[in-house]
């Protein structure tokens, strides 16, 4: 079961008892900003099209026109040379990752990811009969700890999963980090004599603050899968739309794309919702509206650090990863729950001793929750005396 979902369900029940405005639910990464108006305009326009086109099947890998439009948009932004043939349309990043992992895995293969990481990776990797190894977190910077990494790589390594901007730390991997990762992987590919795939999980690519650059991973490493989603960038998580890119530069790229198609078919992730494929294409160049998230980040970060909480200042996504002021983050999360503050303990992110606070909420929730965060800290400090 998912700790995040459990907390969210608890919050829904609790709101019925004490009132919605008395529960400070920071559990889920559900965008609080409405989809941009261009999404609504696109839907309205598309609804004028013949129903059999709009609601019919597309080819399994997606509408060719949509894929071409998305490829051109990505090329303009990142200087790449993709065509529609490099794209596979999916139902969100979840399906994108599941498909990529299944496409390249033989039973017994290993994947490595970097703590803190999105807990679903374990589910997707194990479902493909592979094993997920966890590289411990560098809790100073939350970039990659390369010392530990070298020890986890072996001839069994099939792939590496990275997520930047990161859920839950909010950190963006720097160009140096990605370059170093690419260098290590190329060296190991040579040593082992087979490809090591880098799976770039990118639902938060557009949600960055103060113009922080998010390196475009295929420009650093040939054997990269891009797993993208519109869940966060266009605030469309319920519509389940995203894509995979298999670059031509990838080793055996045509065979890998065939495997992606095969895995998509085997998993039942074919023909992503056609209406939203078309919306994605029409909104390909629409910027994400992140002003409210930026305000929330500042309010929460400044408010909590003033109260004595410790965390890194997030550069992207909409999470704050806060050091638990007591050793057991599960106990701390339970304590917070008693104050109707719902925050996720970090064990399932592979980095115990922290809590994740999702700030994709109404600004008022953050402002109103501050007295509770103050009371929680005072309670912990009183007990530690
Ligand atoms: N990867 C990360 C890091 C996420 O945070 C999420 C969702 O929160 C996903 C993947 C799944 O995204 P999607 O809704 O597009 O399937």
| Separation of alpha carbons 66 and 134, rounded Å | 36
Q: What is the pLDDT of residues 303-357, one digit of tens each?
A: 999 999 999 999 999 999 999 999 999 999 999 999 999 999 999 999 999 999 9
Please choose from 29, 93, 166 the residue to mutate so as to test ligand 1's pocket, defined by most ligand atoms within 8 A of CB. 93
Instruction: Please name every residue paired with 159 in a beta bridge, in sequence order, or none if there are none.
Output: 111, 197
203 CA distance to ligand 1 middle (Å): 6
- Total length of the chain: 385
Q: What is the DSSP string of 40-98?
A: HHHHHHHTTS-HHHHTS---TT--HHHHHHHHHHHHHHH-----GGGEEEESHHHHHHH
208 CA distance to ligand 1 middle (Å): 16
Whole-prediction pTM? 0.97
Taking Cα atoms as reference points, which of 314, 369, 360 lies closest to residue 33? 360
CA–centroid distance for 157 within its chain = 22
CA–centroid distance for 379 within its chain = 33
Q: Which atom of ligand 1 lies at the shortest distance from residue 242's CA? A: 15
Please choose from 2, 4, 125, 167 the residue to mutate so as to test ligand 1's pocket, defined by most ligand atoms within 8 A of CB. 167
Q: Reduced to 3 states, what is the DSSP secondary structure of residue 316?
A: strand
Q: Mark 95-129 as b/e (b = at least 16 C-beta within 10 Å).
A: bbbbbbbbbbbeeebbbbbbbbbbbbbbebbeebe
Asked if residue 203 has its Cβ within 6 Å of ligand 1, the reply is yes
Check if the beta carbon of residue 78 is closer than 8 Å to that of residue 284. no
Q: Which atom of ligand 1 lies at the shortest distance from residue 163's CA? A: 3
ω into 168 cis (within 30 of 0): yes
Which element (helix H / strand E) includes 133? Answer: strand 131-135
Going by alpha carbons, the residue nearest to atom 8 of ligand 1 is 29
187 CA distance to ligand 1 middle (Å): 30
| Separation of alpha carbons 188 and 303, rounded Å | 45
Check if the beta carbon of residue 227 is closer than 8 Å to that of residue 235. no
Q: Which atom of ligand 1 lies at the shortest distance from residue 230's CA? A: 15
Asked if residue 168 has its Cβ within 6 Å of ligand 1, the reply is no
Going by alpha carbons, the residue nearest to atom 5 of ligand 1 is 167
Q: Which atom of ligand 1 lies at the shortest distance from residue 229's CA? A: 15
Q: What is the DSSP string of 244-300?
A: EE--TTSTTHHHHHHHHHHHHHHHT--S--HHHHHHHHHTTTPPP--HHHHHHHHHH
- Spell out the per-residue pLDDT of the chain, length 385, in tens: 788 989 999 999 999 999 999 999 999 999 999 999 999 999 999 999 999 889 999 999 999 999 999 999 999 999 999 999 999 999 999 999 999 999 999 999 999 999 999 999 999 999 999 999 999 999 999 999 999 999 999 999 999 999 999 999 999 999 999 999 999 999 999 999 999 999 999 999 999 999 999 999 999 999 999 999 999 999 999 999 999 999 999 999 999 999 999 999 999 999 999 999 999 999 999 999 899 999 999 999 999 999 999 999 999 999 999 999 999 999 999 999 999 999 999 999 999 999 999 999 999 999 999 999 999 999 999 999 8
Asked if residue 228 has its Cβ within 6 Å of ligand 1, the reply is no
pLDDT for 116: 97
| Separation of alpha carbons 321 and 349, rounded Å | 11
């Amino acid at each position: 079961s998912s700790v995040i979902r459990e907390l969210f369900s608890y919050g829904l029940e609790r709101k019925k008892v004490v009132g919605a405005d008395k529960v400070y639910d920071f559990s889920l990464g559900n965008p609080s900003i409405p989809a941009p108006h261009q999404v609504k305009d696109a839907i309205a326009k598309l609804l004028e099209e013949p129903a059999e086109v709009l609601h019919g099947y597309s080819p399994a890998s997606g509408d060719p026109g949509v894929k071409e439009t998305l490829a051109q948009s990505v090329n303009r932004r990142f200087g790449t040379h993709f065509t529609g043939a490099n794209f596979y349309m999916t139902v969100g990043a979840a399906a994108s990752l599941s498909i990529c992992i299944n496409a390249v895995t033989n039973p017994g293969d290993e994947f490595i990811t970097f703590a803190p990481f999105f807990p679903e990776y374990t589910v997707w990797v194990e479902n493909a009969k592979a094993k997920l190894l966890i590289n411990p977190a560098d809790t100073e910077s939350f970039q990659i700890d390369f010392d530990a990494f070298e020890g986890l790589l072996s001839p069994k390594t099939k792939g590496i999963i990275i997520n930047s901007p990161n859920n839950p730390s909010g950190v963006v991997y720097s160009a140096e980090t990605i370059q170093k990762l690419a260098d290590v992987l190329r060296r190991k590919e040579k040593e082992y004599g087979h490809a090591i795939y880098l799976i770039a999980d990118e639902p938060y690519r557009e949600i960055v603050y103060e113009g922080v650059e998010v390196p475009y991973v295929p420009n650093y490493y040939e054997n990269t899968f891009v797993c993208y989603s519109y869940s966060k960038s266009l605030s469309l998580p319920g519509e389940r739309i995203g894509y995979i890119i298999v670059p031509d530069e990838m080793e055996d790229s045509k065979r890998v794309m065939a495997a992606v198609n095969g895995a998509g078919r085997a998993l039942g992730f074919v023909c992503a919702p056609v209406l939203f494929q078309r919306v994605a294409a029409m909104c390909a160049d629409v910027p994400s509206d992140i002003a409210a998230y930026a305000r929330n980040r500042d309010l929460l970060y400044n408010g909590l650090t003033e109260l004595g909480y410790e965390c890194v200042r997030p550069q992207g996504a909409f999470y704050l990863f806060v050091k638990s002021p007591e050793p057991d983050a599960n106990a701390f999360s339970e304590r917070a729950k008693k104050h109707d503050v719902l925050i996720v303990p970090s064990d399932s992110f592979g980095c115990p001793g922290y809590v994740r606070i999702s700030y994709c909420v109404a600004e008022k929730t953050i402002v109103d929750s501050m007295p509770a965060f103050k009371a929680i800290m005072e309670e912990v400090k009183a007990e530690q005396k």
